[in-house]
Amino acid sequence: MSTSRTIHQLFQLIIASFITITWIIQQNTPTSTALFNQEKHPSFKTIIDPINCKTVPMDKEPHYTIQQYPNVSKSAVIDHAPWSSHQEVVIKDALLDQQILNMQSDSLFIDVGANIGQMTLTGLIRSIHTMAFDPLEYDITKICSGVKETLDRGLMPLNGMDTLHLYRAVVGNESRGNVSITRPDDGFGKFEQASLFKDTIGAARKPQTLVEEVVPMVKLDDIVPTNLPVGLVKIDVQGFEWPVVQGMKGLLERTSGYPNIVHYEEQERITTLAGFQLGTVQTFLEGYGYICTRLGSDINCVKQ
Ligand SMILES: *[C@@H]1O[C@H](CO)[C@@H](O)[C@H](O)[C@H]1NC(C)=O
Ligand SMILES: *[C@@H]1O[C@H](CO)[C@@H](O)[C@H](O)[C@H]1NC(C)=O
Ligand SMILES: *[C@@H]1O[C@H](CO)[C@@H](O)[C@H](O)[C@H]1NC(C)=O
């Protein structure tokens, strides 16, 4: 009799604990921020590890610049090169920033050739999931310093870093272990000229020496989650645009959630020196129904 009551009480206790634990788990399950966490998202194909900015050492020579977005009353900190003269940048009528600020909150911004993160930070202050790719250690340090400084100054939400998915890699037409990217020497700076093609470096002034960095190459189709809509793909890769778009055929072939905007830079001299033909990318994108407009050295392609 007493044994059966004890078992009964024990059983009730187990049920109660179970309910409590379930409740605690539910209270602690982040909903929106975990949506796209590389470690947890079931559709995320982790072929290379994302960079965790918290583990990247701070930039020893930061040149913090406030980037203001008056339209949305926000600002971000960008860590420019030490020789840069910028103190404050006001983003008023830049088309690309405007397009990022106008993106749907549930869509993904892909920043290929992120450099020091001017566009990446625009995605982060807009609180949209932002995948940023850059091959250079210098750029990764600058991006992370800007992100951490923006967080420290309270300019983005505390969970702001959860929406950043940063990769040190070259984006191309296939995924492979190692490619060599060439950049100007440290004294020359101007790392935005880094390229897979040595000949394209030094338009106005040639650096004295070139430095190589070895990094993985990924194609976007291998790393972008299949079930997230892509709002915008920005490509700034010094002549390597054609391989990048060839590696995103899967995204372009989507019947829904395809990139609404593909915005890329194409400079005649650099594209030609890289061995590609001007207009190849545009013709390719038009084949998928995009309408492209040239604005200086940028081409903005839109598909409704
Ligand atoms: C800010 O708003 C103005 C007026 O609507 C618009 O012309 C401009 O492009 C916007 N800029 C950005 C960065 O959103
Ligand atoms: C990628 O492009 C290179 C040349 O640019 C070519 O040799 C290679 O076969 C291409 N890879 C794929 C998977 O198409
Ligand atoms: C890439 O190169 C580095 C250094 O040269 C080497 O340590 C690493 O094993 C290589 N990785 C692959 C996947 O080939």
CATH number of residue 277's parent domain: 3.40.50.150
Q: What is the mean pLDDT of residues 1-14?
A: 54
Q: What DSSP string runs through 51-120?
A: B-GGGSPPPSS--EEEEEEGGGTEEEEEE--TT---SEEE-SS-HHHHHHHTS-TTSEEEEES-TTSHHH
Average pLDDT in the chain: 84
Atom of ligand 3 lying closest to residue 176 CA: 13
Within a domain: 47: yes
Question: Per the domain annotation, does 22 fall within a domain?
Answer: no
Residue 159 is given by DSSP the state T
What radius of gyration, in Å, describes the C-alpha atoms of the chain?
23
Task: State pTM to two decimals.
Answer: 0.84
* Long-range contacts at 91-100 (CB < 8 A, ≥ 24 apart): 91/67, 91/122, 95/263, 95/295, 95/300, 96/234, 96/263, 96/298, 96/300, 97/69, 97/122, 98/71, 99/232, 99/261, 99/263, 99/300, 100/126, 100/128, 100/232
For residue 197, report the distance from its CA to the centre of ligand 2, in Å: 15
Name the closest-CA residue to atom 8, ligand 1.
93
Q: Which two tokens stand for residue 252?
A: 């372009």
Residue 20 lies in a domain: no
Better-predicted residue by pLDDT, 143 or 6: 143
* Position 5 in a domain: no
> Looking at the domain assignment, is residue 10 inside a domain?
no
Q: Give the pLDDT band (50/70/90) at residue 35.
A: very low
For residue 190, the 8-state DSSP code is -
**196 assigned to some structural domain:** yes
pLDDT score at 18: 47
Task: Compute the half-sphere exposure of residue 262: CA atoms within 13 Å on the CB side of its CA.
Answer: 25
Q: Whose CA is nearest to atom 2 of ligand 1?
A: 71
C-alpha to C-alpha distance for 277 and 298, rounded to whole angstroms: 16
Give residue-wise pLDDT tens across range 164-210: 999 999 999 999 888 988 888 877 777 777 777 777 777 667 788 88
Q: Cα(210)–Cα(201) distance, rounded to whole angstroms? A: 9
User: Is 152 contained in some domain?
Assistant: yes
Range of the domain at 255: 33-302
Residue 7 lies in a domain: no
Protein residue with its CA nearest to atom 5 in ligand 1: 71
Domains of the chain: total: 1
